[in-house]
Amino acid sequence: MRTGLVRWLVPLGAALAVLVVVAVVVWQRGPGTPEDAAPAGSGQPSDRASVAPGSPGTDLPDGDLTPAPGPDLPPGPDTQVIDSYFAYDETRLALNYTTGVPECYGKVGEPVVEETGDAVTVTLPKLPPEQKGDIACIDIALSKSVDVSLDSPLGDREVRDGARAGAEVSPGSSPGNPNQAH
C-alpha cells in the first residue's frame, strides 16, 4: 500500500514544483515590462500608441491611452456594425450585418438614416436581450439584414456606418432571404 501512495505522490510533487516555478516567473516578470512591448521598428504594434499630449486619446486619469474614433474601432455597446449593403433599387437598401443569437446578444432596432448630398449614414441601434438571468448561449455567427428606404435616390452617394464613425460600407450581395422581394 505504501508503494501505491509513493507512486502517486512523486508525479503530484513534480507537477506542483513546475506550477510553482511558472508562478514565480510570471510574478517576477509582472505587467508592463519591456517584454510586453514590441521592439521599435519591428513592424509589430505595441500596447501603447504614440500620441501627442493634449490630443484625443490621452486623457485617462491613470495615464492609459484611449483610442481616437475611427473606422477600425469596434462599435459601441449600443450599436451594430454594418458589413455591407445591397441596393434593391435607387431608394431601398438592405443593410447586411453579423450578430449572435438574439436571446444572448439582443437584436437590432429601427435604423437611423441621415442623408446628405454626399453620403447616406445609417446607424443600427442594438437592443439588449429581452431575457434576463442565466441562459445558455451558443457561439454562432448569424448573417442578418434590415431594409431601409431613402428619401432621395442613392445615386453616387456613399453608404456609411454610423456605428464606426462614418466608415464607408461596401456594396454586397442580396441578403438571401427567400421571403423578401428583390
Q: What is the reported pLDDT for 30?
A: 59
Residue 51 to residue 39: CA distance in whole angstroms: 18
Residue 124 to residue 163: CA distance in whole angstroms: 7
Mean pLDDT over each residue of the chain, to the nearest integer? 73
Better-predicted residue by pLDDT, 109 or 66: 109
- Select from 85, 91, 92 the least CA-distant residue to 174: 85
Q: What is the reported pLDDT for 134?
A: 80
Share of the chain above pLDDT 90, in %: 38
Q: What is the reported pLDDT for 85?
A: 95
What would the grid cell of residue 49 be? 500608441
Q: What is the reported pLDDT for 11?
A: 73
Q: What is the reported pLDDT for 21?
A: 66
For residues 52-76, average pLDDT: 43
Are 134 and 161 in contact by the 8 Å Cβ rule? The answer is no
What would the grid cell of residue 172 be? 454586397
Domain ranges of the chain: 2-30, 79-171
Are 90 and 153 in contact by the 8 Å Cβ rule? The answer is yes
Share of the chain above pLDDT 70, in %: 59
